[in-house]
Amino acid sequence: MVRYYTIMAGFHTKTFLKHDDYMTPKYAWENIKQFIPKDKTIWEAFYGNGASGRYLTEMGFNTIHEDIDFFEENRGDIIISNPPFSKSKEVMNRLHELDKPFILIMPQPKINTSYFRTWKDKGLQIIIPRKRIQFVKTVNGEVPKDYKSDCNFECYYYCYKMNLPKDIIWLE
């Protein structure tokens, strides 16, 4: 009960750790649009400021993007998101339970973690961006005035059951 209350308080009061509040720029989804099927419903499962789901919708994908708890809900056919990196282990464990296709943007070193190792026989595939993704920081849902992104780490798109033509795709 206490744990539940803590999570829900985070949702409605926007008290998530600041370092998780980095939003995906639209180009990061446009980069991989050719790998996303148009006939499936996407669940952009981590809300942030809501822009990410809007971008996917604008790109023509049927997208569910709501301010709900990923660990309590299960929507859509394919999960496409940039999750809170501070909860990577919990997210990856929950994805084992859901066992549905996903594309997740996460830092490149995550693949060396023990919780990623639990995916080693499950056919994960990776898309490698051409350039570092510059996320958009938000504070209380707003982009700070004069903010300039300066992300200093690389991310991959980690894919599961997406039937990519190759296990490693290097974007041009």
Ligand X SMILES: C[S@@+](CC[C@H](N)C(=O)[O-])C[C@H]1O[C@@H](n2cnc3c(N)ncnc32)[C@H](O)[C@@H]1O
**Rounded to the nearest whole angstrom, what is the least distance from the CB of residue 75 to ligand X in the complex?**
11
The nearest distance, CB 103 to ligand X, in angstroms, is: 11
CB closer to ligand X out of 96 and 167: 96
Number of residue whose CB is nearest ligand X:
48
Q: Which of residues 99-158 bind ligand X (CB under 6 A)?
A: none
| Shortest distance (Å) from residue 121 CB to ligand X | 27
Specify the stretch interacting with ligand X by CB under 6 A; choose among 31-39, 42-50, 117-125, 162-170: 42-50
Verify binding: residue 52, ligand X, rule CB under 6 A.
yes
Question: Would you say the C-alpha torsion 121, 80, 136, 132 has a positive or negative sign?
Answer: positive
Binding residues for ligand X, rule: CB under 6 A, are: 7, 16, 20-24, 44, 46-48, 52, 69-71, 81-84, 87
